[in-house]
Structure 1
Amino acid sequence: MSDSNTTLFTNPSTFILQGIPGLEGAHVWIAIPFCIIYAIALLGNFTILFIVKTEPSLHEPMYYFLCMLAVTDLVLSTSTVPKMLSIFWFNAREIDFSACLTQMFFIHCFSAMESGTLMAMALDRYVAICHPLRHSTILTKPVVAKMGLAVALRSGVLALPYPFLVRRWPYCRTNIIPHSFCDHIAVVTLACADVRVSSYYGLFVLFSAIGLDALLILLSYAQILRAIFRLPTKDARLKTFGTCGSHLCAISTFYIPEFFSSLTHRFGHVPLHLLILIGNVYLLMPPMLHPIIYGVRTRQIRDRLLRLFAPKGT
């Protein structure tokens, strides 16, 4: 593979992931916080799933969507972090072409699924606050299941063209990807062809799916704020708005890095190593922060956690 950056080829059997270009000497140290973050994400999201499954009082739409978010975070982080750590610690840079396309599909599918889940959670908060008496009749278990299925199908359909677009381009210069995972744009920029179709499709997904979800979330919260400001007392307003706090924090940890990473990758003039670090943080931080946010801010989950870990008889 020493000549892989000069050998002519049209269908490489493998790609070489560089990790974080320019920071190769620090890979071992960078991997330590990444490994800790991944371990916290695994523990936190599995704990959320266990608590919701074993606590009947949490069998409500909000917590079903939270479970969906936890599963999404687990798949999203597990599809990238183990390979990332093998690059940083063991210099295992090669990735099979098909494995690269599979990883790309999972990254984009579950990123879109996470966005859709956050949008569904915003709808749940809207119904709970603006139509509280009808919440149980509007968001029944079959409706929640259909919403989850719709989010999953939409995400899969939108992500499916990514590997097909990558496969159709010829790669005649290099198979070295200046990234720590198979990001769509990072791969197609290696192609010896006009890849504007891939770039335009990526922007289409960004704005039509994730952008649309963000818009619907904003509209939901506009209606929620209207309903909150109509409440008679300040305490009632604060208490009602407090039920949205966890969701607002979760939204911030996902959408801000997502849009910043996607737009700077296409239009920004940011040093490459910083760009790659931003992309890694975007994939790593939400899976770690979401269970912490909901564990700290949601009383039902916090109380169940305390009962789970408190000594018996106290």
Structure 2
Amino acid sequence: MAEENQSTVIEFILTGFPGLHSKYQGIASAVLFLVYSLNMIGNATIFFLFATDRSLHKPMYHIILNLSACDILFSTTTLSKIISKYWFQSGTISFTACFVQMYFVHYLGSVNSYILFLMALDRYLAIFHPLRYPLVLKNSTICIISITAWVIANAAPLMLVIRAYPLPYCASNIINHCYCDHIGITVLACTDRAPYGFPAFVFAMVVLLGPLAFIFFSYCSIIIAVLKIAMAIMLYSHCPCMINPLICCLRA
């Protein structure tokens, strides 16, 4: 049962990188801004190339497009605030805005995990089922799966925000992080965190470790298959009779 919000906190303070000396804050903000700018330029280039080159309208590039969109949104959500903190000394964030940022951090992280899973699935089918690949993963199929990933990823982060927002925040308002996340916020609540921390832990395990396990399996399988092919080519070049005895018979 959600507790009634008797919070005395009206805003949070993001510490950014704890221990960073004030004389290095300008450099840190410049580096972060450079990273953000390069990220925007790189992903915008991907969108431009996709829009202008019809040969890129293939399933794999549709997946990359989704990954670029997620990367742009995630970078904007997280880096913009920490850059303003070090550049303009604006480290405070309102109570509601912090939860909005928390939602997008976890939502976009979930979407990114699902899209990487889809990318691994695409490569796995392309390598091990090349004849079925054009029939299984069409552009329309990838679009439907991608939209489904963006929709499904919304459920758990929304649940985390709905459960965390009503908690009473009456202690410290300092978040030792560069952005608002579930752990960083709920540890400041004046209540037992266990009922709220466990669902978040389960959510992280399912959303992150599930796709990660398949990604690991997929690329390990691909690496093993490539090594087998390389080994077969090497054996054939040294002793073709081991690969195809018919060649030796014809030569004889």
Q: Same fold (TM over 0.5)?
A: yes
1:163 to 158, 161, 164: 161
The equivalent of 2:112 in structure 1 is 114
The equivalent of 2:203 in structure 1 is 205
2:18 aligned with 1:21, yes or no?
Answer: yes
1:98-113 alignment, distance < 5 Å: 98-113=96-111
Instruction: Decide whether the 8 Å contact of 1:172 with 1:192 is kept in 2.
Output: yes
User: Aligned pair in 2 of structure 1 residues 80, 235: CA closer, same or farther (>3 Å)?
Assistant: farther
User: Aligned pair in 2 of structure 1 residues 54, 203: CA closer, same or farther (>3 Å)?
Assistant: same
Deviation, structure 1 residue 222: 4.0
Deviation, structure 1 residue 229: 4.4
SS class of match (1:133): coil
The equivalent of 1:176 in structure 2 is 174
Q: What's the % identity of the aligned pairs?
A: 32
Instruction: Decide whether the 8 Å contact of 1:84 with 1:180 is kept in 2.
Output: yes
SS class of match (1:85): helix
Instruction: Give aligned pairs, total.
Output: 228
Deviation, structure 1 residue 225: 3.8
SS class of match (1:173): coil
Deviation, structure 1 residue 234: 6.2
| Equivalent-residue separation in structure 2 for 1:92 and 1:200 (angstroms) | 33
The equivalent of 1:12 in structure 2 is 9
Match for 2:79: what amino acid? Answer: V
The equivalent of 2:123 in structure 1 is 125
Higher CA-based Rg: 2
SS class of match (1:69): helix
Deviation, structure 1 residue 117: 0.6
| Equivalent-residue separation in structure 2 for 1:133 and 1:231 (angstroms) | 18
Deviation, structure 1 residue 173: 1.2
Instruction: Decide whether the 8 Å contact of 2:62 with 2:139 is kept in 1.
Output: no
Deviation, structure 1 residue 20: 2.2
SS class of match (1:79): helix
Deviation, structure 1 residue 133: 1.3
Instruction: Decide whether the 8 Å contact of 1:130 with 1:223 is kept in 2.
Output: no
Match for 1:10: what amino acid? Answer: S
SS class of match (2:122): helix
Specify every segment of 5 or more residues in structure 1 that has no aligned partner in the other structure, as ranges. Answer: 1-8, 237-314
The equivalent of 2:184 in structure 1 is 186
2:134 to 126, 130, 136: 136
| Equivalent-residue separation in structure 2 for 1:134 and 1:46 (angstroms) | 32
SS class of match (1:16): strand
SS class of match (1:19): coil
Instruction: Decide whether the 8 Å contact of 2:163 with 2:196 is kept in 1.
Output: yes
Deviation, structure 1 residue 167: 0.8
User: Aligned pair in 2 of structure 1 residues 184, 24: CA closer, same or farther (>3 Å)?
Assistant: farther
1:78-97 alignment, distance < 5 Å: 78-97=76-95
Instruction: Decide whether the 8 Å contact of 1:15 with 1:95 is kept in 2.
Output: yes
Instruction: Decide whether the 8 Å contact of 1:12 with 1:97 is kept in 2.
Output: yes
User: Aligned pair in 2 of structure 1 residues 229, 21: CA closer, same or farther (>3 Å)?
Assistant: closer
Match for 1:21: what amino acid? Answer: P
Name the TM-score, length of structure 1 as normaliser.
0.68
1:255-274 alignment, distance < 5 Å: none
SS class of match (1:199): helix
The equivalent of 2:59 in structure 1 is 61
Deviation, structure 1 residue 109: 0.6
The equivalent of 1:146 in structure 2 is 144
The equivalent of 2:42 in structure 1 is 44
Deviation, structure 1 residue 194: 0.7
Name the TM-score, length of structure 2 as normaliser.
0.84
Specify every segment of 5 or more residues in structure 2 that has no aligned partner in the other structure, as ranges. Answer: 1-5, 235-252
Instruction: Decide whether the 8 Å contact of 2:13 with 2:175 is kept in 1.
Output: yes
Match for 1:55: what amino acid? Answer: D
| Equivalent-residue separation in structure 2 for 1:12 and 1:232 (angstroms) | 62
User: Aligned pair in 2 of structure 1 residues 225, 20: CA closer, same or farther (>3 Å)?
Assistant: closer
